[in-house]
Structures are given as C-alpha cells and as structure tokens.
C-alpha cells in the first residue's frame, strides 16, 4: 500500500526560548519564554484523529526558538506517532534530553519521526557544542530516526563553507542543504540577502543545493496560478489551535476579494505610496479559518486560489504539489538522502498531493 499523507499541517509550536544565542537570530530567542501547551494533551491528540484529516498527516513543527524546548513535546510526539502520523521538527540539534527520549520510542514509531537539524556553525563553535550537534545526529541515525542537515547561507558563513563541508562529511557523511535567508512581514516573505555570484559558486561547490535551486525559481516571483493550499494543507498554531489556509495571514476572504475586479484591487494594494492608503480602505479580513481543537466542527479545508503574498512564502510548500502544474521536486527529492531517512519517511514525502 502506498503510504501517503492525507493532508499536510505546518505548525507553529509555542514559545520562543532557545538554548543558543546566534547573532543573526531574528527572534532574539535567548530571552524568550519556553513554550507550553494550552490544552490538555489528550484533547490535542483527539483533535488530530486521522479520520478528521482523511488519513495520516505530515506534521511539520517549528517554534520561534528551539522547538525541542517546548514543554511536553515528548508525550505529544509519542501520541502523534501512535495515531499513525509522520512528525518532523526543525531543531538546532543540541537539546539532548529530548533527543534521548525520542531514541527510546519503539522502532515502528521512530521510522515515522524526522528531524531537520539547522546547523548554526559559528555559534556552536563559540559555545563548544559542535560535538553535541554531531553526536546527536549520529545517535538519531543509529536509532533509525530520519535526519536532514540545513544551513542558512548568511554572509558570515561564506568564508567557512569549505570547513563546514569537510566537517559535515567527516562527522556524519551528509552535506547541509543550503537555504536562503528571508525576512517576513504581514504581506509575506522577502529574501534578505542578495544573490551575489560568489555566494552561488560557494553554495554549488560546498552544499547540497537542491533546495537552493528551487528557492531561486520560487522567491521573488508573484504566483498567479490557482493554489490548493488550504485544501490539502493548513498552517496551524499548535498553542491556540487556530488555523489558516496558508502561513500566518491568509484564510477566509474579505467580501471585496470575492468580487470580479478583486485582482485589480489587489494590484492597487501592492503599489508604492497609494498601496498604503488602499490597504486601509480595502483590508484583508481576519484570516483564521477555524480552531482545530473545536471538536464539534469539522476542519474547514478550502483552497486558497490566488496567492495573497509577494511570492510563495516558503518554497518547500510547493514540493507537495499545491500548485498543480508547477514543476517542483517532491519534499523527499529536495531535502533527503535516502540512506539518512527511513523507507517510510522517504515514501511518505515523495509525492505531490495534487496531481497535475
Ligand atoms: S538556534 Fe535558532 S532560535 Fe536559537 S538562537 Fe540560533 S537562530 Fe535563534
Ligand atoms: S503560493 Fe505558496 S504562499 Fe501562496 S498560497 Fe500557495 S503555498 Fe501559500
């Protein structure tokens, strides 16, 4: 049987505390608060019952700080895996107590758990945690938990890409997946660095550049096709249970957005100067579609249609085929090396949810 997700859920995990303090951190996480769940675990897990989604889901969670610091994450993860879902977290890979607990899960559950390890190389070097990072990766791999390495390409890393490449190959045999840096506002994300040819050359030489190639194609391009985000995927606040069709500020349309000339109004909102006035007169409506924790209501899966952002907020969303006909490799083929993920994980994420 083909093991394929019924839906994709991208979840913002509660809290913004971090055990590292990277200089470029946009959330100033070292001073943040450790995340807690607002709802009882049992209720949260009932809300994730597979029949509400039509089957098992891909659950991708990331906090504004270190994800594995969220209180109760081990029990939540165990519960999600017991329900048959696939769980993936973004982590700085240095919070060993939670990683050790994950390693104690039964094998059948470990096969459906995957961790994206962001490599904050200079910070790890400064605080002496490079060994912790690689030891944890090795531990997870040996235990059959799937891993991928990620490196955000900032200017300060450029002189070190060569040594990062050598270290990763030596310690784990896996290259970091290069990613562009982005800044976000309510209108979407924009690349924060410029694509200088010297960046390009170094990334091609020293990193796994499959994601980079996709991001070059996606970022900075307005999407005008019909997008199925909201129908096959949702963005969720795990703390409150509120969900939107895509990313933070998209969901139910304002009345004006349903009018035949809404495209023209949207263009006016994007114009410099007059756009600011237009945004006040024709605002987007509050965008929450519903609350996952309201068990009385079915989850409201409706397609976004016209993307409201500058460009696709996150290139990886398109790996799930949200825009039928848009040529993007699957998640597995953009991020994974088959020897570092379980067969189940590779197969689950090697699909487009919407066929062309
Ligand atoms: S690991 Fe991530 S959240 Fe923590 S300080 Fe570094 S960039 Fe910020
Ligand atoms: S194009 Fe990207 S950002 Fe826009 S609605 Fe679709 S998935 Fe979301």
Q: Within a domain: residue 248? A: no
Q: Output the CA–CA distances (angstroms, integers) from residue 102 to 12, 21, 34, 188, 287, in the order listed.
A: 20, 24, 19, 34, 35
Q: Within a domain: residue 353? A: no
Q: Within a domain: residue 327? A: yes
Starting from the CA of residue 129, give the closest ligand. 1
Q: Within a domain: residue 287? A: no
Task: For residue 182, report the distance from its CA to the centre of ligand 2, in Å.
Answer: 15
pLDDT given at position 183 = 78
Q: Give tens-digit pLDDT for 281-340.
A: 666 555 789 999 999 999 999 999 999 888 999 999 999 999 999 999 999 999 999 999
Judged against a pLDDT cut of 60, whether residue 254 lies above it is answered with no
For the chain, the domain total comes to: 1
Query: What average pLDDT does the segment 46-59 reach?
Result: 98
Residues 278, 244, 325, 151, CA torsion sign: positive
**What is the CATH number for 127?**
3.20.20
Q: Within a domain: residue 279? A: no
Which two three-digit tokens encode residue 5? 């997700």
Q: Within a domain: residue 145? A: yes
Q: Is the beta carbon of 120 within 6 A of some atom in ligand 1?
A: yes
**Mean pLDDT computed over every residue of the chain:** 90
**CA-to-CA distance for 356 and 353, rounded, in angstroms?**
10
Q: Do residues 332 and 349 lie in contact, with contact meaning Cβ atoms separated by under 8 Å?
A: yes
Using most ligand atoms within 8 A of CB, pick from 12, 14, 32, 66 the residue to mutate for ligand 1: 66
Q: Within a domain: residue 288? A: no
Q: Within a domain: residue 60? A: yes
Query: What average pLDDT does the segment 133-144 reach?
Result: 98
Q: Give tens-digit pLDDT for 177-229.
A: 999 988 777 667 777 766 678 888 999 999 999 999 999 999 999 999 999 99
Q: Is the beta carbon of 229 within 6 A of some atom in ligand 2?
A: yes
Q: Do residues 58 and 88 lie in contact, with contact meaning Cβ atoms separated by under 8 Å?
A: yes
Starting from the CA of residue 150, give the closest ligand. 1
The residue range of the domain holding 60 is 7-239+296-348
Query: What does pTM read for this prediction?
Result: 0.89
Q: Is the beta carbon of 92 within 6 A of some atom in ligand 1?
A: yes
């Amino acid at each position: 049987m083909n093991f394929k997700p019924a839906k994709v859920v991208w979840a913002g995990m509660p809290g913004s505390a971090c055990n590292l303090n990277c200089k470029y951190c946009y959330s100033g996480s070292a001073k943040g608060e450790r995340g807690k769940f607002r709802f009882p675990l049992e209720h949260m897990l009932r809300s994730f019952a597979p029949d509400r989604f039509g089957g098992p889901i891909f659950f991708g969670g990331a906090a504004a700080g270190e994800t594995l610091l969220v209180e109760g994450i081990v029990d939540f993860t165990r519960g999600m895996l017991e329900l048959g879902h696939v769980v993936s977290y973004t982590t700085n890979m240095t919070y060993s107590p939670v990683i050790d607990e994950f390693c104690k899960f039964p094998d059948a559950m470990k096969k459906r758990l995957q961790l994206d390890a962001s490599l904050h190389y200079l910070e790890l070097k400064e605080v002496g945690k490079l060994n912790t990072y690689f030891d944890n990766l090795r531990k997870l791999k040996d235990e059959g938990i799937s891993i991928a390495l990620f490196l955000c390409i900032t200017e300060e890393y450029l002189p070190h890409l060569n040594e990062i490449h050598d270290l990763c190959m030596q310690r784990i045999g896996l290259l970091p997946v290069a990613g562009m840096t982005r800044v976000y506002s309510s209108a979407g994300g924009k690349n924060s660095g410029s694509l200088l040819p010297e960046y390009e050359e170094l990334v091609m030489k020293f990193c796994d550049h499959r994601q980079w190639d996709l991001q070059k194609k996606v970022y900075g391009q307005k999407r005008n096709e019909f997008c199925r985000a909201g129908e096959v995927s949702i963005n969720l606040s795990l703390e409150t249970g509120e969900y939107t069709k895509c990313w933070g500020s998209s969901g139910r349309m304002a009345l004006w957005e349903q009018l035949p000339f809404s495209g023209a109004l949207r263009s006016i909102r994007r114009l410099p100067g007059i756009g600011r006035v237009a945004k006040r007169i024709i605002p987007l409506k509050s965008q929450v579609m519903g609350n996952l924790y309201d068990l009385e209501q079915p989850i409201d899966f409706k397609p976004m249609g016209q993307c409201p952002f500058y460009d696709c907020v996150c290139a990886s969303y398109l790996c799930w085929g949200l825009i039928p006909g848009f040529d993007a490799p699957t998640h597995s083929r953009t991020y994974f090396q088959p020897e570092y993920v379980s067969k189940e994980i590779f197969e689950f994420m090697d699909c487009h949810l919407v066929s062309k």
